[in-house]
């Protein structure tokens, strides 16, 4: 059984899906199938680009922004067009 690696965009989309309703880091790690170190790197990148935000003081609750929702919509549209 061959296992294909996910692209960076796929990982971003998985994280954005995980934070739609507001999520703590542990939930995101399990939902997006990442380890904590990689998750932090991706969260920092998504936050820096305005696609997610931290809602409260520790423990942080992450949520998707309007820009993140737009990214996810465009990502889903692209996936529908491209062959699998």
Residue 23 lies in a domain: yes
65 within a domain of the structure (yes/no): yes
1 in any annotated domain? no
What's the domain range around 55?
Answer: 8-79
First and final C-alpha spacing in the chain: 17
- Kindly report, residue by residue over 7-57, the tens digit of the pLDDT: 999 999 999 999 999 999 999 999 999 999 999 999 999 999 999 999 877
What's the domain count of the chain? 1
Whole-angstrom distance, CA of residue 52 vs CA of residue 2: 32
Is residue 2 over pLDDT 80? no
- Closest by alpha carbon to 50, among 16, 5, 21, 78? 16
Task: Report the predicted TM-score, pTM, of the whole model to 2 decimal places.
Answer: 0.89
**Does residue 59 belong to any structural domain of this protein?**
yes
Q: Is residue 84 part of a domain?
A: no
């Amino acid at each position: 059984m061959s296992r294909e690696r996910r692209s960076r965009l796929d990982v971003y989309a998985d994280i954005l899906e995980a934070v739609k309703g507001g999520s703590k880091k542990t939930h995101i790690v399990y939902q997006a199938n990442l380890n904590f170190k990689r998750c932090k790197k991706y969260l920092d990148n998504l936050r820096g680009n305005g696609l997610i935000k931290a809602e409260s003081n520790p423990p942080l609750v992450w949520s998707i922004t309007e820009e993140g929702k737009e990214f996810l919509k465009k990502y889903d549209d692209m996936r529908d067009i491209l062959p699998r």
